[in-house]
Structure 1
Amino acid sequence: MKKTEDEVSAPVRPTTEPSRSTYTVRTAPGAWPLLGHLPRLLRDPLAFLRSLPAHGDLTWVRIGPWRALVVCDPALTRRALVDDRAFDKGGAFYDRVREVVRDGVLTCPHSDHRRQRRLVQPAFHPTRQPGYARVMAEHIEALTGSWYDGQEIDVLKEMQTLTARIAAATMFGASLNAATIDTVIEDLAVVVPGVARRLLMPPLMDRIPTPGNLRYDRARRRLRDTVRQAVLDSRATRTGENDLMSMLTTMHGTASPPAADHEPQDAAPSDTELVDQAVTLFLAGAETLATAMAWALHLLAEHPDILERTRTEVDTALAGRTTAVHEDLPGLRLTGRVITEALRLRPPLWMATRTTPAEAELGGHRIPPGTNVVWSPYLLHHRADLFPDPTAFDPDRWDPRHPTPPPRGACIPFGEGPRKCLADTFAVTEATLTLATVAARWNLHPVPGTKVSANPRATLTPHPLRLRVTART
């Protein structure tokens, strides 16, 4: 088979595999009496994370009486994520996310993950991507076609509306109306920051009927009730054979063969399991992806030279059309690199936790049972030894012909190992089609006098983010 130009020109990438036999473990400096590192986390959590690699490969931090081990080395991060038996889903972050999604494929323990992944994975098989892309293109065209010349748009809200509509259409077909989708968006807008706020709260404070707690509990219950009703309606009618809910209810036991002959076929998922999976996919497919696309549009608007190059690529790939489709993806390489660089610079999942059910080993050090282990894409993505000039927006660092490409495995916005995001291809496809369609139709202008900051909630959210769009002639 003849190699492409990129394959011929691409240098060999270094990997993040361990090259040392020992790794350092230290406690981060600057802890306050009783409060530990909480004041530094509250003041600027991103700066605090960026400071930790200077202190050790594995760094202990303390928030009041609670201790956590932050993994600062890329090779050790990969080890922890790949060994999901020793480093199971859990800890403060996932304990809070479980309040919303319960035990879906994102948050379930290792003991149930293999079964759940077999249940959900066929819905994201590569052969289904063109069908999903057609749905994406329809909704992207409708949203971007509704903007008017000179309009000032709330970018994050627009992207949340788009991703929620696409998530609903791919999960439930046409059975979810616009009013219901708007309700889901409203509830996610309360739940996502609520999860982040409760990360630093003692569980006993959950019971105090503060306005914030009451709003969070109402939104969380209504979100699950809305999705439950949609699941029940979809299961009763099964009108759309290609939507995700129909696949989950009809493909169990036949979607993929068991891993071994002695393993039984999976039983049909219960309504509760379907709700858990649907809420999980809404949270990931709407909120997380919307954040990533909002950052990408912001970064393009802030870098008009890269926007112009992207627009030139889009005009060539679309050949006069204004809506990108699945068949255009091979010609949208720079657009894809823009998304990759946005995910590196501003990963929506900026920090997450694992826990050790039993004593574990990492980097030659004993990790006690019950340890909260923190891993952070944001931390790794901002290491200058992995990414020169790490705060710069440089999509060309991902060009396979770049003389010093980033180490393989150093950029992990979707995680790594057996718990890596199932829908990474789905997400990248949606983001690429969205950026290409926006670039084909609109010029992007930052709003004078506004400064966009990274707001570390449950996702790394841009705030405030408004852009003025003008029609291309």
Structure 2
Amino acid sequence: MRDRLAFLRRLHHYGDLVRVHIGPWRALVVTSAELTGEMLVADRVFDKGGYLFDRIRETGGNGLVSCPHRDHRRQRRLVQPAFHRDRLPGYLRMMSRQIDVVLAGWRDGETVDVRTDMQAITARTLLPRGLPPAVMEQMFTDMHVILAGVTWRAIVPKRLDRVPTPANRRYRRAQERLRAIVAGLVAEHRSRETDHDDLLSGLLSSYDPDGLTEDEIHDQVLTFLLAGTETTANVVSWALHLLAGHPDIERRLRAEAVEVVGDGEVTVADLSRLAVCRQVVLETMRLYPPVPFLTRLTTEDTELGGHPVPAGTTIAYSPYAVQRQAAHFPDPDDFRPGRWAEHADPLRPPRGPFLAFGGGARRCVGDVLGLAEATLMVSAIVRRWSLRPVPGPPVRPAVSLVLTPRALRMRLHAADPEGAAA
């Protein structure tokens, strides 16, 4: 299938529930925002599972994102302290320092690979003590291999895993290297026993020796290593790409950042005053949600929208497709940050047809942190720089487990102290 995103969007025209067969893949696709919400709330019956989550567990194990319903409440209780709002100021301070490190290497007129630099910021925020540059670069490559491989493997027969193809070998080596990195990070943290205001410290400090097994600890760290670096980096990359095509919005955002933050660091108190930036981030996540589609698995005979759904049915749904439906968002393909002007809460993402953070009890545990980090990054970057596209083919989404801007290279233009592009 050449354009999976267009295919997902077209399904809405065939009804609220559509049966799809792709090779050995059989699923019931939910296209309605209302039914998607009902399904996400009933997380015991519509459990994490199906073709996609079966493959996610091969690498992420039984982490919070992928664990079944029976393990979720216990794991969430143990992980939740790492995402308490009391820790947010420390996380923002850490991210501000990492933004300064990356942006210190930027030069006026140069061209940068935007997503690589955004990923460096998010990874260094999660791992402030860092990894050797070569190891960090290999880690990013391995993440890409895993995220692309999970999606591909979800739609091909499992028996093909045993075929010694170059792709299968790359996938297994990437799994092994990421697991080794995680083991090293956990061991290093335990040896220093110091909280550095980073998310990894938060996760490991909340460890309850009577709650999580050693394997589960590693699963949680690997889960948030993938989720905490890839998703926010992609959102900010897409936001910078969209702003390049809307210089009027970029100027408003820059003026806001100069007025609210000046030369200082963004604080939690500043977030409520960065309204334009928050609207830009939310609109970016509407157009390009971090994860374009997901699956669930029914654990018993049930019904959805008045239709019977047998136990063992794979259910698929697409935040990308729902968030581009005109019934919920007029002119759905247009970048219109102002549509979020009525959403005033700086620390709570919208709900309803906005599915970028999921819903129900399995809603992303890091939704507040993710929105705050993306707002901080976009504000800090646009305050100092204006990024413009370089000649070449249009930037299009690369669809894997996450939605990545393909080949996003942009030219840097320094902004003057008054907030205008130089």
Place the TM-score, normalised by the shorter chain, in its bin: over 0.9
Q: Deviations over 1:269-300 (max 9, x none)?
A: 23211110000001110012111111111001
* Partner of residue 236 from structure 2, selected from 259, 279, 293: 293
User: 2:189 corresponds to which residue?
Assistant: 234
Q: Deviations over 1:192-230 (max 9, x none)?
A: 112222222211111111111111110111101111121
Asked if the contact 2:288–2:403 (Cα under 8 Å) also holds between the matched residues in 1, the reply is yes
Residue 127 of structure 2 aligns to a residue in which SS?
helix
Asked if the contact 1:175–1:230 (Cα under 8 Å) also holds between the matched residues in 2, the reply is no
Structure 1 runs (4+) deviating above 2 angstroms are: 174-184, 239-253, 268-271, 322-328
Q: Deviations over 1:412-457 (max 9, x none)?
A: 1010010011111111111111111111111111112331011211
* Partner of residue 352 from structure 1, selected from 277, 287, 294: 294
> CA 1:213–1:167 in 2, change beyond 3 Å: closer, same or farther?
same
Asked if the contact 1:451–1:464 (Cα under 8 Å) also holds between the matched residues in 2, the reply is no
> CA 1:334–1:120 in 2, change beyond 3 Å: closer, same or farther?
same
* Partner of residue 341 from structure 1, selected from 278, 283, 296: 283
Give unpaired runs (5+ residues) of structure 1.
Answer: 1-41, 254-265
* Partner of residue 248 from structure 2, selected from 301, 305, 312: 305
Asked if the contact 1:322–1:440 (Cα under 8 Å) also holds between the matched residues in 2, the reply is no
Asked if the contact 1:323–1:436 (Cα under 8 Å) also holds between the matched residues in 2, the reply is no
CA drift at 1:189: 2.3
Asked if the contact 1:249–1:269 (Cα under 8 Å) also holds between the matched residues in 2, the reply is no
Q: Deviations over 1:70-114 (max 9, x none)?
A: 111111101110111000000111111111110000000000000
Measured in 1, the distance between the counterparts of 2:155 and 2:26 equals 12
**Number of residue equivalences:** 411
CA drift at 1:183: 3.5
Q: Which moved more, 1:233-242 or 1:199-208?
A: 233-242
Asked if the contact 1:153–1:466 (Cα under 8 Å) also holds between the matched residues in 2, the reply is yes
Asked if the contact 2:75–2:212 (Cα under 8 Å) also holds between the matched residues in 1, the reply is no
User: 1:258 corresponds to which residue?
Assistant: none
> CA 1:205–1:247 in 2, change beyond 3 Å: closer, same or farther?
same
Q: Deviations over 1:302-357 (max 9, x none)?
A: 111111111111111123x1653444222211100000000000112100000012
Measured in 2, the distance between the counterparts of 1:247 and 1:193 equals 29
Residue 272 of structure 2 aligns to a residue in which SS?
helix
User: 1:117 corresponds to which residue?
Assistant: 76
User: Which structure would you say has the larger Rg?
Assistant: 1
> CA 1:268–1:162 in 2, change beyond 3 Å: closer, same or farther?
same
Asked if the contact 2:98–2:124 (Cα under 8 Å) also holds between the matched residues in 1, the reply is yes
> CA 1:239–1:183 in 2, change beyond 3 Å: closer, same or farther?
farther
> CA 1:245–1:398 in 2, change beyond 3 Å: closer, same or farther?
closer
1:196 aligned partner, one-letter code: T
Residue 35 of structure 2 aligns to a residue in which SS?
helix
Measured in 2, the distance between the counterparts of 1:417 and 1:313 equals 34
Measured in 2, the distance between the counterparts of 1:334 and 1:243 equals 27
RMSD: 1.9
TM-score in terms of structure 2 length: 0.93
- Pair 1:168 & 2:135 matched: no
Q: Which moved more, 1:69-78 or 1:186-195?
A: 186-195
TM-score in terms of structure 1 length: 0.83
* Partner of residue 382 from structure 2, selected from 439, 445, 456: 439
User: 1:149 corresponds to which residue?
Assistant: 108
